[in-house]
Amino acid sequence: MKQFLFLDAAQTCQNKKILLQKKKYKDQIISHYHITEQHQKELKHSQGDYFTIKFTEDVLNSKSNLLEKELEKVIQSFLKKYHKTKPILIVGLGNSEILVDSLGSNVTGQMIASNQYNDFLTIPKVALLNPEVIGKTGISSFKLIRFVVQDLKPDLMIIIDSLATSDLTSLNRVIEINDTGIIPGSALRTNKEITKKTFGIPILSIGVPFLYKNENNLFESIYLKKDMEKISNIIANSLNQSILF
């Protein structure tokens, strides 16, 4: 099972102090939550900052530029805090051959890699990695990422992965960005968390819920293919603009 959307837990939390800011802007609801150590157990999410952007079908289909701008603002706020001068490693988790699990590879496939260029270019260094699942490579994603981090020595890692949700209104309609990392589910056959604690560098995580869980059943949207294409394009454009331009 994929990691669950943070918003699922936040909506049921009794402590309203975790919500620092919430604003509605042109059919988008942008929320900023801050989780302290005391809230971790209740929410089953690590301490740190969580931003969620919930949007309507109309925004996705007709006003995607507005969604990109909001996402860029959030990404840039994290970059100012964590990125210095070393490369940024962007990792697309999941299985590229399974549509509902392919957000990571769909995003990185539209991004610009710049780490290979010589020093005469002043643009930030960006490296891209799609470790796939252990069933395809024989090596856990955690180990493959660790090998690259040890060689590249980035000062920031950005993880992109599909999520799950128990709220049908969030399916294909929320982008979550946090600085707590991620704990891959059974689809990656590893319980090792990808966090600052395990890698020694800041980790940003960007996810979208493409799976809906109702009791013991899992469902996908009938618009999965169309929405996956549009949302992955929005995330890729926002990352490219925030980092390179």
> Coil, helix or strand for 207?
strand
Q: What predicted TM-score, i.e. pTM, was given to this entire model?
A: 0.94
Answer yes or no: are the C-beta atoms of 28 and 66 closer than 8 Å: yes
Number of C-beta neighbours around residue 181 at 10 A = 20
**Mind listing the pLDDT tens digit for each residue in 84-118?**
999 999 999 999 999 999 999 999 999 999 998 87
With a cut of 60, say whether residue 44 has pLDDT above it: yes
What is the four-CA torsion angle of 159, 160, 166, 170, rounded to 10 degrees?
A: 130
Total length of the chain: 245
Answer yes or no: are the C-beta atoms of 235 and 71 closer than 8 Å: yes
Q: What is the pLDDT of residue 90?
A: 98
- Identify the DSSP state of 69: H
